[in-house]
Amino acid sequence: VHIVTCGFYILAMYEGDENTYYMLYIKNFSELPTSLQYYQGLDWSVKTMSGLARGFNIPETDMQHLFALGVVFLGVAMYALIISTITAALQTKTMADKFRAKLDEVQSVLEYRNVPDGLKKEIMHYYKYTFSSTGTLGFSGDVDPLDDIPAELKARIQVAMGTTMLKKVAIFKEVAHD
């Protein structure tokens, strides 16, 4: 806004008092104290950038038309930037919440399947690394929350579950320890 205000001041001084009346409704702009000139320019800049100055100020020269149009476009760009920043911040929070829910679901499934603690940590590390490096969930949304892990980790889970099952059968108890 300060840069636009300075541009306003430069344009007003360049075009002279007779051509600045449209902006301020103040005659003899150049005779005002510098601080009041700045405040008047700031007022015009904020109103024009925010869209509040519609219909009040009609540019009289080509230079004024171009400057006012540029300020309006700058105001639109600033609004777009603010809205996109807020949207991204809200979406990131939502993604983080979804990620935490997914981790809780995976943890529950791993507990239910009696997966060894070391393998649980590796699987949880895989999900955390994937989320931190891509910034997305990358989950398929299938019924089994473990469908998203690599084939190697799936195979290790199956081996761990098979070993657990073998330990329960009396004939395989000694074999399962090897």
**Residue 167: CA atoms inside 13 Å, Cβ hemisphere, count?**
9
CA distances from 84 to 73, 78, 97 (A): 16, 10, 20
Q: For residues 19 and 64, what is the distance between their CA atoms, to the nearest angstrom?
A: 9
Q: Give the per-residue pLDDT at 62.
A: 85
Helix (H, G, I), strand (E, B) or coil at 144: coil
The pLDDT value recorded for residue 84 is 93
pLDDT tens figures, 118-171:
999 999 999 888 888 887 766 655 567 777 788 898 888 888 888 877 777 777
Amino acid identity, position 104: D
Residue 106, judged by CB atoms within 10 A of its CB (0-12, 13-18, 19+), counts as buried
- Most confident stretch, 11-15, 21-25, 110-114, 165-169: 110-114
Determine the pLDDT at residue 120. 92
Band of pLDDT at residue 178, cut at 50, 70 and 90: very low
With cut-offs at 50, 70 and 90, classify the pLDDT of residue 9: confident
Taking each helix axis from N to C end, the angle separating 151-168 and 117-134, rounded to the nearest 10 degrees, works out to 160
| pLDDT (tens digit per residue) in 42-66 | 888 888 888 777 666 677 788 888 8
Percentage helix, strand, coil, to 5, in the chain?
80, 0, 20
Q: Is the pLDDT of residue 37 over 90?
A: no
